[in-house]
Structures are given as structure tokens and as C-alpha cells.
Copies of this chain bind each other. A is one copy, B any other.
Amino acid sequence: MKKGMAKVSVMYANGEGKTFDGDYYVNKHLPWVSSLLGDALKGATAEKGLGSAAPGSPAPYLGIGTMYFDSVRDFGEAFGPNAEKIMADLPNFTNIEPTVQISEIVI
């Protein structure tokens, strides 16, 4: 992934009573989303939260999915038409409303 590309992070915030099924997320949700987004999606990663800065402190996010596109426009064109059905899958693995960060890669 390189400078100027769009990076979209979907972040599932930790908190009391929050649940996140990592197996479903990794093995079902993400491959399905990737197939919906098609060639516009230039790369994707997923991560599992382990902790924060202070030793033993909880991770701010239980899980984060990251997607890369050539531009924010490409993201919008690929994601927009699928947004509703993608969001409808969330209750199958989490009760968290994700935080979405759209960024430009600068390094």
C-alpha cells in the first residue's frame, strides 16, 4: 500500500458488555465483504486487539478491519451500493457499532 491511497479502517470499540466473534468475522464476514467490493479493493487486513500502552491495559478496539483503495472515490463507488447489506451482517458477529476512519496514506 502506498502514499496517496485511501485506507478505510472499521474499528470495533471495546467496552463493558461488548461482544465480537472473531471467527465469524475473519472466516465469513471479511471474505464475503471482499467478494462484494471486487477489484476496487486493493488489499485488506484484520487484527485482534491485545492491549494498549500501559502493560495489562485493555485494547481500545477488540478488532479492526482495514481496507485499501486507490482513492476515496473508488471506496465510495464499491462500498456504497453494498453498504446496507454489509451493515445487516454485523449483528451476526458483534453488538458494537463500528467506528469508521477514512484516511489518506501519507507515508
A interface residues (Cβ-Cβ under 8 A, vs B): 1, 6-7, 9, 11, 22, 26, 30, 44-53, 59-61, 64, 72, 99-107
Interface contact B47-A103, CB-CB below 8 Å: yes
Copies, count: 2
Q: Classify the interface of chain A: helix, strand, loop or mixed.
A: strand
Q: Is the CB of A103 within 8 A of B49?
A: yes
Please indicate the chain B residues that have their CB under 8 angstroms from the CB of A61 in the complex.
101, 103
Q: How far is the CB of A87 from chain B (nearest CB, A)?
A: 9
For residue A47, which residue of chain B has the nearest CB? B103
14 pairs from A and B in contact (CB 8 Å cutoff): A6-B50, A11-B60, A22-B106, A46-B107, A47-B103, A47-B104, A47-B105, A47-B106, A50-B102, A50-B103, A51-B102, A59-B103, A60-B99, A64-B101
